[in-house]
Amino acid sequence: MGFMEDLLRTLRATKRPDSKTFKASMRVVGLGVIILGSIGYIFQLAGSALRMVSVSPPSTDVLVIAFAALVALVLGVALYVRRKAL
């Protein structure tokens, strides 16, 4: 019964937005759906195109080097952002 009590308390505390706020929220949500849908479509399209190409799998050494480079890049960006924040 805790969930229902929380739900009722939340519904009592909220208020209906005015028309301007509601339309702005709907624009933001719609834009987000369009952007995320487009990104998903592009990835799906690229994945379909890559499935048609037959390429031999990379060796383990290449995967380890690529992973290490990715980790180094992420750490470098994180340190850069942290230093700029200080």
What does 36-59 look like in DSSP terms, one character per residue? HHHHHHHHHHHHHHHHHS--PPPP
Cα 53 to Cα 46: distance, rounded to the nearest angstrom: 11
pTM assigned to the model: 0.48
CA distances from 52 to 47, 48, 49, 72, 75 (A): 9, 7, 6, 32, 35
Same domain, 61 and 48: no
Same domain, 51 and 66: no
Same domain, 47 and 24: yes
The answer to whether residue 9 sits within a structural domain is no
- Of 13, 14, 34, 10, nearest to 22 by C-alpha is 14
- Over pLDDT 90: what percentage of the chain? 71
Same domain, 26 and 46: yes
Q: How many domains does the chain have?
A: 2
The answer to whether residue 2 sits within a structural domain is no
Determine the pLDDT at residue 50. Answer: 84
- Structural domain of 86: 56-86
Same domain, 23 and 37: yes
